[in-house]
């Protein structure tokens, strides 16, 4: 039996136990709140991910709300880029726990959240907050968000070079995030939103196990990055047919900030994401959602995978010919074999069903689930990278208590 097949039941058991304890102990105190149990399964050619999750939410009449979540990623891969010295099957488990607190007033709210994630060789702490206010007789909303994170990573079986020629026991990555969004009701059946997000990253941003074979070195990426995204959204509802539409567009761009003696910017990735959704109420208790997401991304300027991109001239990053095959010169400043930094094109269709389980009230034993809502979805990634296509299956159950 493969390792991930053995590990997955343990992960599901741990989350199931937590969910049962949460429901039993909190039902009396949080009579108007809910618990959500979700599961996700992701499969591509060389990777499997099973992710069970439980989420709790309490909305107090006093205006102080508390939420928490816990999830487990059981990741099985045959890639040497994730911690093995040979290309064989291995299993990694990541635990994540988060707590959030929100204070509501008549027209505004403030929230604070903390999240901790751990693997055998990667640990992350993140702190986030937001402030939101409703405007124009509750026809608009403005929200500001911020956050910081501190990640620490180590390489199994070796001392990593966080910088070339400078080995260290641990590598670190620090991030600072900020965002603002504005939502406006356009009519009784339509709403629009626009948001801007920025994140500044400083530290090791590669994979400690990914080798650039042509240079026989572990990859090294630029240590500074400023990521930006602008996202307009629009939603429209047709009451006569109980049909809803949503259209999202996201423009992403990044660059190398500040003056760090780099002759030219090694990042300059841009991407465009278009996502369309349709919601249709089929019966009073059954809803279907159809989704299509199209993603197009340019490559990082220092990415020099074969063949060398035609629009990438001979710079301090890439060689002029095909020797070495990766396109890198032997004295390259940055080098990577990460397919996610190459030109990327993906298409992702998905279908989701959401069922209000009220009909179970007349079924013995199952009536315990009648107050909740079940959901299931399936999506398929069509992508041009070496990861290949992927299947995504998700299920969930939401129970008020």
Which of 26, 103, 12 lies closest to 60, judged by CA? 103
pLDDT of residue 4: 36
pLDDT of residue 321: 54
pLDDT band per the 50, 70, 90 thresholds, residue 315: low
Q: Tell me: pLDDT of 11 over 60.
A: no
pLDDT band per the 50, 70, 90 thresholds, residue 78: low
Which of 395, 401, 325 lies closest to 355, judged by CA? 395
Q: Tell me: pLDDT of 373 over 60.
A: yes
Identify the CATH class of 3-272+299-342.
mainly beta
Which of 68, 92, 66 lies closest to 79, judged by CA? 92
User: Contacts from 11-18 at CB under 8 Å and sequence distance 24+?
Assistant: 11/50, 11/52, 11/72, 11/74, 11/93, 12/39, 12/50, 12/52, 14/72, 15/52, 15/53, 15/54, 15/70, 15/71, 15/72, 16/52, 18/54, 18/70
pLDDT of residue 10: 45
**Least confident segment among 17-21, 62-66, 258-262, 348-352:** 17-21
Mean pLDDT of all residues belonging to the chain: 85
pLDDT of residue 32: 56
pLDDT of residue 327: 73
pLDDT of residue 264: 83
Average pLDDT for residues 269-282, to the nearest whole number? 98
Ordered by start, the domain boundaries in the chain are 3-272+299-342, 273-298+343-401
The kind and range of the H/E element at 85 are none
Average pLDDT for residues 69-79, to the nearest whole number? 86
pLDDT digits 0-9 by tens, 378-394: 999 999 988 889 999 99
pLDDT digits 0-9 by tens, 105-164: 999 999 999 999 999 999 999 999 999 999 999 999 999 999 999 999 999 888 888 888
Q: Tell me: pLDDT of 24 over 80.
A: no
Q: Which residue has the higher pLDDT, 326 or 260?
A: 260
pLDDT digits 0-9 by tens, 180-236: 999 999 999 999 999 999 999 999 999 999 988 878 889 999 999 999 999 999 999
């Amino acid at each position: 039996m493969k390792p991930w097949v053995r590990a997955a039941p343990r992960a599901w058991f741990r989350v199931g136990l937590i969910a049962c304890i949460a429901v039993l102990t909190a039902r009396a105190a949080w009579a108007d709140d809910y618990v959500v149990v979700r599961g996700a399964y992701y499969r591509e050619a060389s990777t499997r991910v099973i992710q069970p999750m439980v989420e709790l939410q309490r909305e107090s009449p006093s205006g102080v709300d508390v939420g928490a979540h816990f999830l487990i990623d059981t990741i099985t891969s045959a890639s040497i880029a994730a911690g093995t010295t040979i290309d064989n099957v291995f299993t990694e488990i990541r635990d994540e726990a988060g707590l959030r607190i929100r204070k509501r007033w008549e027209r505004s709210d403030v929230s604070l959240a903390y999240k901790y994630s751990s693997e055998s060789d990667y640990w992350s702490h993140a702190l986030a907050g937001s402030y939101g206010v409703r405007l124009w007789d509750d026809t608009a909303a403005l929200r500001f968000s911020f956050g910081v994170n501190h990640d620490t990573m180590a390489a199994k079986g070796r001392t990593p070079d966080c910088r070339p020629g400078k080995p260290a026991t641990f590598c670190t990555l620090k991030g600072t995030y900020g965002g603002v969004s504005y939502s406006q009701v356009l009519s009784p059946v339509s709403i629009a939103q626009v948001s801007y997000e920025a994140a500044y990253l400083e530290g090791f941003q590669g994979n400690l196990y990914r080798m650039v074979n042509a240079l026989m070195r572990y990859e090294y990426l630029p240590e500074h990055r400023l990521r930006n995204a602008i996202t307009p959204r629009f939603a429209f509802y047709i009451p006569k047919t109980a049909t809803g539409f949503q259209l999202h567009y996201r423009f992403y761009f990044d660059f190398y900030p500040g003056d760090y003696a780099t002759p030219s910017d090694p990042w300059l990735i841009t991407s465009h994401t278009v996502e369309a959704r349709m919601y249709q109420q089929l019966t009073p208790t059954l809803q279907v959602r159809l989704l299509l997401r199209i993603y197009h991304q340019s490559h990082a300027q220092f990415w020099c995978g074969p063949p060398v991109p035609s629009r990438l001239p001979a710079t301090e990053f890439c060689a002029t010919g095909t020797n070495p095959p990766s396109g890198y010169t032997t004295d390259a400043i940055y080098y990577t074999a990460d397919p996610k930094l190459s030109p990327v094109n993906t298409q992702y269709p998905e279908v989701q069903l959401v069922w209000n389980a009220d009909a179970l009230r007349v079924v013995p034993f199952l009536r315990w689930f009648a107050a909740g809502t079940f959901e299931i979805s399936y999506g398929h990634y069509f992508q041009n990278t070496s990861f290949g296509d992927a299947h995504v299956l998700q299920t969930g159950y939401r129970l008020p208590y």
